[in-house]
Chain A
Amino acid sequence: MSRPSNRVLGTILIAAAAFGGTFLDAARQRIAHEPALQHTEALVERLRLSDIALFTEARYTRHLSQADLHSAFQDHPVALEHFPSGSMLPPPQTLLKRHEPLDREAAPSD
């Protein structure tokens, strides 16, 4: 092991083994987390939840999927969206793409 190449390749090999280890650990954790995920799924279904509680700071970030398209800007016209988590969310073009254009397809009511 005195050759420098042995030391270098040995280090790379150990790092590669650790890299492979992350995939094994991921598989182990996926199995371990499965019951909790199932419970969460069941809770969502039972309580009729629609969103994850990741950003609790504002209405439109707490219930992202329920917020209407302009709720982030509705405080007054041309209001700037001011909650930090808003900047973590995709920009309006994506917002528009996410919503089904049902309103454009529906026939006008009499």
Chain B
Amino acid sequence: MQSPKPEFTDLQYRFAGTIRDPEHVATLEDVEERRMKIYRELFYNNVAGFVNSGFPVLKSLCDETYWQQLIRDF
């Protein structure tokens, strides 16, 4: 069932890819940029939420930009 990969899975990889790494993976042609922005923010804030609450002390010791970069890398 896994091979060959159906066509829609390519869209799925690109959709997830542009959430994860917007600088290198472009938004799909049929998706509005402001809608993609919602996904990027939802997913970022979700991960930031559980990382922040798991590492409050480490967060307080780090510079804000550096911390955001760490979360983005995660």
Indicate, yes or no, whether A interacts with B. no
Binding site for B on A (CB under 8 A): none
